[in-house]
Structure 1
């Protein structure tokens, strides 16, 4: 059974690769820079070096695989992120339609169920629809807001400020990417699912950004002040960085499009994962902040 893993050095992919190896599998990993894999991992996997935006590479690398774990590598800052995501996934879709791939596990997102109006997440909705039409067995994992998104503003957190354009009082599900990786690995190795399957991954609890700031304050040993910013201000700030209008709207749309979102699947035994934000922040975020710059309580 050949399992292909894309983005094997990412927050989710690295966890998936480790679990597959520990289960006795030898995954085929698609990676642009093999040196980013640690030496032990590199010796135990089937490395295919290439770029996921190279259609010929993707077609050859996934051909003959039983299952592919697909993570869209497109950065939100791409000039036209939705088009880039759909174009990058096209060779996988073609391989699945041709029968060269039997099963696909897609790392999707909560919000994809809306299909339109959720910024760059609209691309994941489009990939879902294209994969659904191939006839392959497809599992869409619609994940919550990643804990690791907090790492995108280490400078702000080092100044004890948490900035967000999300509504600060609206609860939303948060999840540890390692927990997502656990589910991915189980699904990749499992042989019971067929057809089109959707599984949400909601994390342990829904949190408002006010609650997140309080949790971080306790876990980090410093008072984190929440700084909500309006959508217009966020849009203006992104424009000043030189991003294209499509990139700006792709980023802002993920916030505005989520305001009225009710996830398609409820929180239950299957969608709830165990790791809490406070424990993650103490184990992962706190050492990064304390090592990056002087600590100010």
Structure 2
């Protein structure tokens, strides 16, 4: 039995599709089962509730071999530990009491690179907590998601601009949520791996925000430009949208760390490169969102 958390999210729903397509038994933890497609509810077991709740995870993990773990966003959390390690605490206890063998977790690049990287630092601490339970653990070590650009669809469509606090020419890896899900499904269906390890998903190329603006302009058939904002302005924009101080500060620290080399330590190889190019992602995901 494979337990899948966040089954309605951008990554989780693709993990569900991959596991069910392979014919593997799946159990889904979801706050509201009505958000699942009817065909998924028919083919998978469903446990309603939060995977941060001790009773919910004890029920969901009973008899399970493997768990897909993703800590959901909590924009109003008072600390980053509340989002990651404290949220994962009940599950870590249930991994032990329910005899879970393997966990595949959504994590981040940057282990051992920089000491203060906001959300990344907190994510890596959660990895340590999970691995410390004794389960076999694989952390999907990820850079920035291409899909995050969907959060700026309105400004891209209406103003022809997107924003970040990174230098325009700073080249960094990015990856698509579809490729993250594919990497997760491969691990979830493979019962042979043991111990602890990281599985980087780096995309096929490093791109700067100027590169991204050029590709978006070509795909959309209209000019899109990149506008850099200060880290302070970036943080203030998060606060203005209702994000908590701790959360906004963590995002700001992460951006600074990425500028300073957080995502550069892992080389791109045939094993760490994922297939979806940013141009392909724009054609298939961004273009319908902007022009549709």
TM-score range, shorter chain: over 0.9
Question: What is the Cα-based RMSD across aligned positions, in Å?
Answer: 1.7
For 1:145-198, what per-residue CA distance to the aligned partner results, in whole angstroms no more than 9, with x for missing partners?
111100111111112101111222111111111011111111100122110011
Distance 1:84 1:115, change over 3 A: farther
Query: Which residue is 1:31 aligned to?
Result: 30
Q: TM-score scaled to structure 2, two decimals?
A: 0.94
Query: Which residue is 1:150 aligned to?
Result: 149
Contact 1:113–1:125 (8 Å) recurs in 2: no
Moved more, 110-119 or 177-186: 110-119
Contact 1:173–1:206 (8 Å) recurs in 2: yes
Query: Which residue is 2:288 aligned to?
Result: 287
What are structure 2's unaligned runs of at least 5 residues?
none
1:71 maps to 2:56:
no
Query: Which residue is 1:100 aligned to?
Result: 99
Q: Structure 1: how far apart are the matches of 2:44 and 2:70? A: 18
Query: Which residue is 1:4 aligned to?
Result: 3
Q: TM-score scaled to structure 1, two decimals?
A: 0.92
What are structure 1's unaligned runs of at least 5 residues?
292-297
Contact 1:27–1:45 (8 Å) recurs in 2: yes
1:267 maps to 2:271:
no
Q: Structure 1: how far apart are the matches of 2:105 and 2:243? A: 27
For 1:191-229, what per-residue CA distance to the aligned partner results, in whole angstroms no more than 9, with x for missing partners?
221100111100111111110111111111111011011
Q: Structure 2: how far apart are the matches of 1:142 and 1:113? A: 13
1:173 maps to 2:205:
no
The residue matched to 1:30 in structure 2 has which SS? strand
For 1:5-39, what per-residue CA distance to the aligned partner results, in whole angstroms no more than 9, with x for missing partners?
00011111111111111111121011111111111
Query: Which residue is 2:277 aligned to?
Result: 276
Query: Which residue is 2:110 aligned to?
Result: 111
Q: Report the number of matched residues.
A: 290
Query: Which residue is 1:295 aligned to?
Result: none
Contact 1:52–1:73 (8 Å) recurs in 2: no
Q: Structure 1: how far apart are the matches of 2:139 and 2:239? A: 32
Contact 1:6–1:29 (8 Å) recurs in 2: yes
